[in-house]
Structure 1
Amino acid sequence: MAKKYNAEAIVALEGLEPVRKRPGMYIGGVSSAGLHHLIWEIVDNSVDEAMNGHASEITVTLHKDGQSVTVSDNGRGIPVDKHPKTKKPALEMVLTVLHAGGKFEGQNYKTAGGLHGVGASVVNALSKSLTAIVRRDGAQYKMEFERGVPQGKLQKLKGAVRGTGTSISFAPDPQIFPKTTFDAATIRARLETASFLHRGVKVVFHNEVDNVKETFLHEQGIVDYLAAVLKERKAKPIHESPFTHSVDDDIRLEVAMQWTESTDEHVRSYVNGIPTGSGGTHENGYRGGLNKAVRNYIDTHNLTPRGVKITHEDIREGMVAIVSIFISEPQFQGQTKDRLNNPEAHSLVESAVRSEIEQWMNSNRSIADAIIARIIAAARARAASRAASEAVSRKGGSKRTMLPGKLSDCVSGGKMESELIIVEGDSAGGTAKQCRDRNYQAILPLRGKVLNTESATLKKILDNREIQDVVASLGCGIGPKLDVAQLRYGRIILLADADSDGHHITTLLLTFFYRHMPQLISDGRLFIAVPPLYRIDIGKETHWAKDDAHREEILSEHNGRAKPEITRFKGLGEMMPKVLWETTLDPANRQLLRVEVDDQLETDRVISDLMGRDASARFRFIMDRAGDAEVDV
């Protein structure tokens, strides 16, 4: 029979009983995270002493049983005198009364993490046993508890002691937690982070389980932390010097960040030394300030790329950042303090970050330009990925897997010494096939001028037969799906006529590789062959000139000798196979130019201007170079 619902059915839990009944409300649950949260609550109290200048050392000991911990500091020590209202020692109140502490009036702590006044009492409530030892006024005091209940009165131990501080030892209650064994690695990581966030504070971890004792002390604070995170994530920065900023005004704010080659964003944020895994207003303010600073820099220096829209995700791709703020009245979401809710933190952080990042970028132009180039590359890759997904969806998942019929493959495909030579035209391709070393040289002829991929949609690119042949021959994929490990050749060589038409074809291919297979360039796999444009016979000597300037240089060197006979090649196809081999394909004699990108931002701009849809950029280019001997765009 159901119990009657009336006033007698209403239960009011008193003291620490609510904590034991509903531990999840206070520590997030009784899993491993909740278990370790007990340590964090006590450590946060010691950190509060340190960040307010009252402690310089914190020691955490994981005892041999792995199920009990001691947290000690050399702070002021929890007060032990009797409270004027309750007539109980202040130490007993802190450990047995919810919302009892010295952080509510703002007089003893400018900033604090344990601002709710429930941390120590919650740990006491959820511990099988807890012992508190306080050093104050030259004496030492001790008080013991079981499941939050005092086991006798506060004791004043015999003998005088030096210094001050608090030591809390506790063992979690197995009636509350399914598992009560702590993880040493988890504790170590949290303590090292605390030493990064509070530079100059010594944090000691004594792991008696493994008989290891470590001391963490980082004078550079979050700058050292950023370096450690980059190493941990194996993320390669794209610029050497990170952005760092520290200000102590309306709030104390510290930021350190660096862009890397990674494709994800990684931000670790903290409030008063407490990690805010779910972010909050301070983290949102940081992102807002960063986005505005970067956009202002792009607009100021006219770096907006054509044909692609830069999003917030593009700006933050590859960025690793540490954001730490200290405020007097933080408003956390729940006792676990996983998210900051202070609305004023957003505007304060955003304003400070925006102005400082913008000033830093303008003062470090080389670093800033590398960052912008990385952002533009991310924007193009994101656009290409979306277009590729749409194209694949429209095609119903069909995939071309056969090698193109025009490809004359080599015997040792897939080895580093093998090479794919992409040749302009069937005629030149036929000559190259006759003279190549088929053991390691593969030939792929293309029909005339290939598609301009800069001004084409990815669907159009994927539908183009010549591009399909190149992609299929290489076998490593395209765009975001490219995998260099699957590349079928050690080198890719572009071989076109030495005249302006040939240069144009080479430029079209370079545009394709730069936009859709950039890893092949960064890995040093892409080369340009240098065939001769002229044959110069002087007496019994034969010379090969790659261009007009080279021809004049050769003629000048041999001035006064026999009358030179000069032959200009109309194209690779009219060369004899033996000549093409000796001048262009033979590794002993040939000249190859490795394709490298020294300035990604400038390269991006040039390709966009010369190959993009905007004809005005090309017009300016032609007019600026109207006096040159030959301009082909």
Structure 2
Amino acid sequence: MTASAESLYGVDDLTHLEGLEAVRKRPGMYIGSTDSRGVTHLFNEVVDNSTDEGVAGHATRIVVTLHADGSVQVDDDGRGIPTGVHAKTGLSGVELVLTRLHAGGKFGGSGYKTSGGLHGVGASAVNALSLRLDVTVKRDGKVHQMSFAHGEPGVFDGPGPKAKFVRQSGLHVTGKMKRGEATGTSIRYWHDARYFEAGAALDTEAVRTKLRNTAFLVPGVTYVLRDATGGSISEETFHFPNGLADMVEFLSPAGDRPVCGTLVVTGEGTYKENVADENGVMQSNVERRAEVEVAFRWGTGYERTIECFTNTIRNVHGGTHRKGFDRAALKALQEAISKTRGLLKPKEDMPTLDDVLEGMTAVIHVRIPEPQFTSQTKDELSTAGITKVIQGVVERQIKAWAEDRRTRTEAKTVLQKIVDAARVRLTQKQQKDAARRKTALEGAAMPAKLVDCRTTGVARSELFLVEGDSALGSARLARVSEYQALLPLRGKILNVQKASLADTLKNAEIASIVQVLGAGTGRTFDLSAMRYGRVILMADADVDGSHIRTLLITLFARYMRPVIEDGRLYAAMPPLHKITTRGRNPETIFTFTQREMEQTVSRLEKAGKQVVTPVPRFKGLGEMDAEELWETTMNPATRSVRRITLDDVEAAEAALELLMGEKVEPRRAWLVESAERVDQEAIDA
């Protein structure tokens, strides 16, 4: 580093931000953002402090007023912020918590067993980012008041933030409490728009949601919202004596009929963590106690709604309590499914967490001392020990519910829903995999074994699906390369009448056919995109060849039916025998059946011709030379082909299902009943 560079950075460049200046310098660090969410977070910090009084059992009513001038006021009937003088700082309790960061009654003292507050930053951050903040505390028979401008204590000579302000420290007693008047705290603040983005404002609907949710979580407290922002005052009251059960009912999607009643799970547990004592010394493995309350039910729909809270604070991103709930629900319900006969078929996969949560509406609420969050906005709980606590409580009670005689029928209905969800998920996955596979096939390069033709039009072009590589050699020499293409098939393709689309497209031979034709499969099959004018099935003239033709016809009928409907699928008719005569004018005649061969030999012998015996029989296409294959099977002028049609679709469907479908019994019965129709002598053995 050069000397000139060193001189650019010295001790004078170091800045120490004191008091609330740090909040004003980096507000996003303390309230999450500087848009409307940040403005709403200020309100959350104030109302959460009042809620902590309700959770502790000291407040029963909290009133929120949204004034026409943009200010927000929160009144509670709790104990009131302590007003005495703090020995160490010399400040009143009110001034201490509103002007000093990391000050408050929620750091492990006796004031609160559990609370939403964590860092002692919330109230002071609101004060730091406000034009004016007024606080009134009713406590010890007296009414105490204090005001702040930009976080500085003092006195305003009139209403609103524009009134003249004089700095002045100290809490003032302005009167005595009336007989029977409740204690409590009232805070009214005007946020400073300079620290927020243009247009940022308090989200009234978010305020309403916050109060409603908290009323569900703290059933002993009534919340009142008075909205005067529209000129006239509207008032809403939120009070839900059934707590989380009411919240599940409220959160359930409209029209979603419940599959079971709402399960309410409550319990306690302990966990250990390292905690700093009053002197800042870390204490290892300090035992903590957690209170767990969970309510959930399943509906007939598919949406899941799971809300998580810690000490009444909503955790948008869940956290360790959500993790514990997920583990418990999955383990307990998988165990219940495995113990219930008839739910899962043999070799069927066990449902996953997504299946378990499908259609579930749940609320998870834990109360713990000094919770740890991933940020000041408390969007995600990070206290590690809570995972096992909630897992244990929830798992035990779900198992008991599934085994209890009174709820066993209800539980089985839920278990069946979960199993059905797993089956649907797997079916959809198979369909997606098949679609991806199909797309990949259609976009892939042509298979190397394709012997393509030169023409690009479909008027004359034809594709021969050739049984076996041995026949390919003769067919390659016999074909007219201008318009005849060859695709050899190895062995018998999959019986698609029994298989799913995913399994069908996994078959290498079928995949090659789909690629080469280039028109897709199923509903997306596009006949106009097919690369050839005709498809000719060229298999041996024996039983195996007939089976291969049947399998290929089944493939086209199920996944490429337009080819048949348009009359573009044919079956080649290769000869079975080759009859030759001796003499001055030798003849060569090809026959296609045993009976035709015998009749032809008889006719020739009666005509005085000498037939070469025994008459040779072709065991396969590969035994023909190129000239014979061309003349008998591939030459459009001399060959015989059979067009495959669907004149009676219903009858064809029934025949395919009977002969190629999954059900064996109907096929066996048909074979037995039809045995007498078989000509024993015509069997090609």
CA contact 1:281–1:345 (8 Å) conserved in 2? yes
Alignment partner, residue 79 of structure 2 = 76
Aligned length: 420
CA contact 2:35–2:200 (8 Å) conserved in 1? no
Give the counterpart letter for 1:63 in structure 2: H
Q: Distance in 2 between matches of 1:389 and 1:160?
A: 71
Q: Distance in 2 between matches of 1:114 and 1:376?
A: 42
Q: Distance in 1 between matches of 2:381 and 2:183?
A: 33
CA contact 1:78–1:90 (8 Å) conserved in 2? yes
2:397 paired with 1:356: yes
2:335 paired with 1:296: yes
Give the counterpart letter for 1:154 in structure 2: L
Q: Distance in 2 between matches of 1:317 and 1:123?
A: 40
Q: Secondary structure at the match of 2:205?
A: helix
Q: Distance in 2 between matches of 1:373 and 1:242?
A: 17
- Counterpart pick for 2:419 among 376, 380, 385: 376
CA contact 1:244–1:256 (8 Å) conserved in 2? yes
- Counterpart pick for 1:41 among 40, 45, 53: 45
- Counterpart pick for 1:105 among 99, 103, 108: 108
Give the counterpart letter for 1:227 in structure 2: E
2:240 paired with 1:218: yes
Q: Secondary structure at the match of 2:138?
A: strand
Give the counterpart letter for 2:247 in structure 1: Y
Alignment partner, residue 11 of structure 1 = 15
Q: Secondary structure at the match of 1:114?
A: coil
The two structures have a TM-score, normalised by structure 2, of: 0.58
2:312 paired with 1:273: yes
2:34 paired with 1:30: yes
Q: Distance in 2 between matches of 1:133 and 1:373?
A: 57
Alignment partner, residue 206 of structure 2 = 186
Give the counterpart letter for 1:209 in structure 2: T
Change over 3 Å in CA distance of 1:121–1:36 after alignment to 2: same
Q: Distance in 1 between matches of 2:34 and 2:87?
A: 36
Note the C-alpha offset of 1:461: 10
CA contact 1:283–1:323 (8 Å) conserved in 2? yes
Change over 3 Å in CA distance of 1:50–1:301 after alignment to 2: same
Give the counterpart letter for 2:420 in structure 1: A
Deviations along 1:574-611, one digit per CA (max 9) or x if unpaired, are: xxxxxxxxxxxxxxxxxxxxxxxxxxxxxxxxxxxxx9
Note the C-alpha offset of 1:106: 3.1
Note the C-alpha offset of 1:458: 4.6
Alignment partner, residue 671 of structure 2 = none
Deviations along 1:396-421, one digit per CA (max 9) or x if unpaired, are: 2899xxxxxxxxxxxxxxxxxxxxxx
- Counterpart pick for 2:408 among 350, 359, 365: 365
Kindly report which structure 2 residues correspond to 1:191-590, keeping only aligned pairs within 5 A, or say none: 191-210=211-230, 211-230=233-252, 233-234=253-254, 236-249=256-269, 250-302=289-341, 303-309=343-349, 310-363=351-404, 364-396=407-439, 456=500, 458-460=502-504
Deviates more, 1:171-180 or 1:316-325: 171-180
Q: Distance in 1 between matches of 2:395 and 2:150?
A: 50
Note the C-alpha offset of 1:208: 1.0
Alignment partner, residue 559 of structure 1 = none
Note the C-alpha offset of 1:239: 1.5
Q: Distance in 1 between matches of 2:328 and 2:120?
A: 33
Q: Secondary structure at the match of 1:46?
A: helix
Note the C-alpha offset of 1:307: 4.6
CA contact 1:58–1:73 (8 Å) conserved in 2? yes
Q: Distance in 1 between matches of 2:84 and 2:394?
A: 45
Change over 3 Å in CA distance of 1:39–1:92 after alignment to 2: same
Alignment partner, residue 182 of structure 2 = 163
2:73 paired with 1:53: no
Change over 3 Å in CA distance of 1:452–1:61 after alignment to 2: farther
Q: Distance in 1 between matches of 2:422 and 2:397?
A: 24
In structure 2, list runs of 5 or more residues that go unmatched.
155-167, 270-288, 443-494, 511-521, 525-660, 666-685
CA contact 2:310–2:365 (8 Å) conserved in 1? yes
Deviations along 1:53-77, one digit per CA (max 9) or x if unpaired, are: 1111111111113x21001100000
Q: Secondary structure at the match of 2:73?
A: strand
2:24 paired with 1:20: yes
Q: Secondary structure at the match of 1:329?
A: coil
Q: Distance in 1 between matches of 2:408 and 2:497?
A: 32
Q: Secondary structure at the match of 1:251?
A: strand
Note the C-alpha offset of 1:372: 1.6
Note the C-alpha offset of 1:144: 0.5
- Counterpart pick for 1:143 among 143, 146, 150: 146
CA contact 2:108–2:370 (8 Å) conserved in 1? no
Change over 3 Å in CA distance of 1:395–1:248 after alignment to 2: closer
Q: Distance in 1 between matches of 2:434 and 2:148?
A: 68
CA contact 1:239–1:259 (8 Å) conserved in 2? yes
Q: Distance in 2 between matches of 1:276 and 1:452?
A: 51
Q: Secondary structure at the match of 1:206?
A: strand
2:160 paired with 1:117: no
CA contact 1:235–1:260 (8 Å) conserved in 2? no
Deviations along 1:230-286, one digit per CA (max 9) or x if unpaired, are: 1xx325144141211122453211111111233333210000000011111111000
Question: Radius of gyration: which is bigger?
Answer: 2
The two structures have a TM-score, normalised by structure 1, of: 0.63
Q: Distance in 2 between matches of 1:362 and 1:461?
A: 44
Q: Distance in 1 between matches of 2:94 and 2:24?
A: 21
CA contact 1:238–1:371 (8 Å) conserved in 2? no
Change over 3 Å in CA distance of 1:229–1:396 after alignment to 2: same
Give the counterpart letter for 1:84 in structure 2: A
CA contact 1:308–1:379 (8 Å) conserved in 2? no
Q: Distance in 2 between matches of 1:111 and 1:223?
A: 22
In structure 1, list runs of 5 or more residues that go unmatched.
400-449, 465-470, 474-610, 619-633
Q: Distance in 2 between matches of 1:154 and 1:190?
A: 31
Q: Percent identity?
A: 36
Q: Distance in 1 between matches of 2:45 and 2:105?
A: 15
Alignment partner, residue 174 of structure 1 = 193
Give the counterpart letter for 2:175 in structure 1: K
CA contact 1:253–1:325 (8 Å) conserved in 2? yes
Q: Distance in 2 between matches of 1:461 and 1:121?
A: 65
CA contact 1:259–1:320 (8 Å) conserved in 2? yes
Change over 3 Å in CA distance of 1:461–1:315 after alignment to 2: farther
Change over 3 Å in CA distance of 1:612–1:14 after alignment to 2: farther
Change over 3 Å in CA distance of 1:304–1:83 after alignment to 2: same
Q: Secondary structure at the match of 1:267?
A: strand
Q: Distance in 2 between matches of 1:304 and 1:192?
A: 41
Deviations along 1:439-481, one digit per CA (max 9) or x if unpaired, are: xxxxxxxxxxx9876x7465549999xxxxxx979xxxxxxxx
CA contact 2:138–2:177 (8 Å) conserved in 1? no
CA contact 2:433–2:502 (8 Å) conserved in 1? no
CA contact 1:173–1:180 (8 Å) conserved in 2? no
